[in-house]
Amino acid sequence: MKTDHPQRPRRNFYGRFKGKSLKQSQKIYLDEDLAALAPGAVDWDSNPDRLPLDLNGLFDGKPVWLEIGFGGGEHLVHQAASNPDVGIIGAEPYINGVAMLLGKIRRAGVENLAVHPGDVRDLFDVLPDQSVAKAFLLYPDPWPKKRHHRRRFVTQEHLEPLARVMKPGAIFRVATDIPDYVRQTLEEVPKAGFEWLAEGPTDWRQPWDDWISTRYEQKALREGRVPHYLTFRRQG
């Protein structure tokens, strides 16, 4: 049961927590695997004083990466398998996506992942300052209606705490197929203390060398939308 805490901020959440019914195997993944993959006490009930996570203990001192909204988990597992010397936290409130990720983790056998099945803003509360070496925001919810643009991740409500937890020089990658999301990203991310690293059009038209195309990108391509790949560096 959720309890009130005098410091708990009011945070509206506009996405989905659950979709269609889970498969029996996915229910098993959630029951058997999710608790062991928690990065620590993140939610307000288990950590009302917002004590910082012990990332050194969690990942044995490895550099920490963060994926915000990992969808079905393809990219997250790919990066974990390709970078065993890194610890990666994935945050995703959509429980169906979390269940899909857990199945992929089992099949891939990766052990350098932690999973927060909830709002990344709660995770930002407990991540230590300057603790994240790389972050990913890949095909976030576009909220296409103009009156909903304030719900997008690329607003200062989200970008300022992201900047706080990222190391100086850390890389922030954004992928989207929505031109107006590109516009808002290029306007808002630099305001939070990031530098766009593009030197020419190929820098945002071509995917990163270690990229794996996600199911969301494949859908965008089938529907004729053009992916954009934006790379920023945390200043400071």
Q: Which of 31, 43, 49, 141 is catalytic?
A: 141
- Identify the helix (H) or strand (E) that includes residue 112: none
- The radius of gyration computed from the CA coordinates of the chain, to the nearest angstrom, equals 17
Q: Are 101 and 90 in contact (CB under 8 A)?
A: yes
Spatial neighbors of 204 by CB under 8 A, at least 6 apart, are: 198, 228, 229, 230, 231
Q: For residue 141, indicate whether it is catalytic.
A: yes
Within 10 angstroms of residue 94's Cβ, the number of other Cβ atoms is 19
List the one residue out of 107, 37, 28, 116 whose CA is nearest residue 70.
116
What is the C-alpha separation between 169 and 73, in angstroms, rounded?
26
> Which residues are annotated as catalytic?
141
